[in-house]
């Protein structure tokens, strides 16, 4: 028993165990800041095909060269000269579909007692498409980190000069066409902006405003520089050798393949969800003797760098 002395105040009531240290707000649970780049929506990764029902988990993409614009006709010595048959080149690259999974589970007691309805199994399941897109983005960055044409250095910050070298690489690749998309770590965007401040070509107030203003979204456009490079930023850029392994490419430099999931016949059909466009399948299961319910999300897809003879690309190294 606690004696409450006049005047009755909050501190005494709390000490007596009749109050709460805190209560929870009544609105929906709020998500923390996170990397929200949708790499699929960028339109730079080409879908090669669907391996479902083919008997193989690998797609082979063929190519041919020294044809059309790549082969000139030969001048003949006379009107009766025999034309020597020409050669042409063929090749291929392959993408293999892999398997990825994600699961969450909750106890029956949690279902009974929880006050956070935003953290129930059903609510967590609604995030699976975003989980898939995060996996796709990560695989894109892993693939881009393997580009062998190198611009910039792990030991120096990215600069306007490096940006111009990047433009020159694509400009000097005959046949290159399309928007250049550069996928960068956020600190590299800051490195480029710092370099712009010292660049004599950007010394007027309007230039400063366009190149330095805050752009909070993942797709930053051309950063106001007008060089024809679209910048997108993500935290999934690979760090290696003391530097960020950023990368730039035109559409089609990376391709992916999937396995549609329509043929899956789950043990428990209740709550099963099919997303064949993503190669994604979600099922529910439970362990009554352990008082647990769970869902499993499975996806089948793969990603690969296309042959460099088809679409130009470059790795844009910058100091961490």
pLDDT at 4 exceeding the cut of 80 = no
pLDDT, tens digit, for every residue of 122-169?
999 999 999 999 999 999 999 999 999 999 999 999 999 999 999 999
pLDDT of residue 118: 80
**What are 129's two structure tokens?**
């498409």
pLDDT of residue 284: 92
pTM of the predicted structure, to 2 decimals = 0.91
- Contact indicator for 226, 244 with CB cutoff of 8 Å: no
**What are 284's two structure tokens?**
């529910």
Confidence of residue 289 (pLDDT cuts 50, 70, 90): confident
Give the mean model confidence (pLDDT) for residues 15-35: 81
Mean residue pLDDT of the chain comes to 93
- Contact indicator for 166, 316 with CB cutoff of 8 Å: yes
DSSP strand pairing (150-152 vs 180-184): unpaired
pLDDT of residue 245: 98
DSSP strand pairing (150-152 vs 313-319): parallel
Q: What size, in residues, is the chain?
A: 320
- Contact indicator for 203, 253 with CB cutoff of 8 Å: no
For tokens 């391996």, the residue is 51
For tokens 């000069």, the residue is 161
Give the mean model confidence (pLDDT) for residues 278-282: 97
pLDDT of residue 134: 97
pLDDT at 188 exceeding the cut of 80 = yes
For tokens 């296309």, the residue is 306
pLDDT of residue 23: 77
pLDDT at 7 exceeding the cut of 90 = no
Give yes or no for a cis peptide into 62 (omega within 30° of 0): no
Quote the CA–CA distance of 19 and 293 in Å, as a whole number: 35
Residues 6+ apart with CB under 8 A from 279: 50, 97, 258, 259, 260, 261, 299, 300, 301
pLDDT of residue 28: 73
Residues 6+ apart with CB under 8 A from 307: 63, 91, 93
pLDDT at 1 exceeding the cut of 90 = no
pLDDT at 286 exceeding the cut of 90 = no
Where b means 16+ CB within 10 Å and e means fewer, 115-141 reads eeeeeebeebbeebeebbbbbbbbbbb
Angle subtended at Cα 296 by Cα 41 and Cα 290, rounded to the nearest 5 degrees: 155
DSSP H or E stretch at residue 111: helix 108-113
């Amino acid at each position: 028993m606690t004696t409450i002395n006049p005047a009755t105040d909050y501190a005494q009531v709390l000490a007596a165990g009749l109050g709460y240290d805190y209560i929870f707000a009544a609105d929906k649970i709020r998500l923390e800041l996170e990397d929200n780049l949708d790499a699929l929506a960028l339109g730079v990764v080409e879908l090669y095909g669907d391996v479902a029902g083919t008997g193989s988990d690998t797609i082979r993409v063929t190519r041919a060269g020294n044809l059309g614009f790549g082969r000139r006709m030969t001048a003949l010595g006379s009107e009766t000269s025999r034309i020597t048959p020409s050669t042409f080149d063929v090749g291929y690259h392959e993408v293999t579909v892999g398997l990825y999974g994600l699961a969450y589970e909750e106890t029956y007691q949690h279902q009974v007692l929880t006050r956070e309805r935003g953290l129930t199994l059903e609510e967590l399941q609604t995030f699976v498409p975003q989980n898939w897109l995060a996996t796709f983005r990560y695989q894109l960055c892993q693939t881009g980190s393997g580009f062998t044409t190198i611009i910039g250095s792990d030991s120096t910050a990215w600069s306007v000069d490096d940006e111009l070298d990047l433009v020159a690489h694509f400009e000097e690749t005959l046949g290159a066409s399309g928007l250049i998309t550069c996928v960068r770590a956020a600190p590299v965007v800051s490195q480029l902006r710092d370099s712009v401040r010292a660049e004599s070509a950007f010394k007027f107030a309007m230039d400063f405003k366009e190149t330095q203003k805050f752009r909070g979204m993942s797709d930053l456009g051309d950063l106001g520089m007008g060089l024809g490079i679209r910048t997108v930023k993500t935290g999934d850029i690979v760090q290696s050798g003391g530097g960020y392994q950023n990368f730039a490419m035109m559409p089609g430099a990376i391709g992916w393949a999937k396995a549609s999931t329509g043929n899956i016949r789950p043990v428990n059909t209740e709550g099963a969800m099919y997303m064949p466009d993503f190669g994604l399948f979600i099922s529910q299961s439970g362990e009554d003797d352990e008082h647990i319910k769970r869902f499993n999300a499975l996806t089948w897809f793969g990603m690969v760098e296309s042959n460099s003879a088809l679409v130009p690309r470059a790795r844009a190294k910058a100091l961490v």
